[in-house]
Amino acid sequence: MSIQHTITSITVLGPLFILFLIALVVCTRVIKIRYTSKQYALIIAFAVYILGVMHFVFFPIDINIGVYANQTPWYKTIQWIPLLTADIPSFALNILLFLPLGFMLLLY
């Protein structure tokens, strides 16, 4: 018997975004934190950015149990020598991925 399942990002990140919006409303109503409309837009843009980073980095998650499961222990998959398989496109994409984080942290 083998089980193969793929977890898509919308099934995890969609409810996570809704919980974030609920927490934002609770913070503004119950704790009486006052934000301007620009701050609300920045907070929501930052949340969408973080969810986008999580989408590109972690998803889809493939679950394989049974015959098709990966039999390699987790500690054998760690790359012990940093930058061994590094290339220019991955460096450029990582810089591009984290540029909005630097700009948003300065704005808040």
pLDDT tens, position by position, for the chain (108 residues)? Answer: 778 889 999 999 999 999 999 999 998 888 888 888 888 899 999 999 999 999 998 999 888 887 777 777 778 878 888 777 788 898 899 899 999 999 988 886
pLDDT for 48 equals 95
Q: Which pLDDT score is estimated for 21?
A: 93
- The amino acid at residue 30 is V
Q: Which residues of 53-76 are buried (b: 16+ CB within 10 A; e: fewer)?
A: eeeeeebeeeeeeeeeeeeeeeee
Cβ contact 39:84 at 8 Å:
no
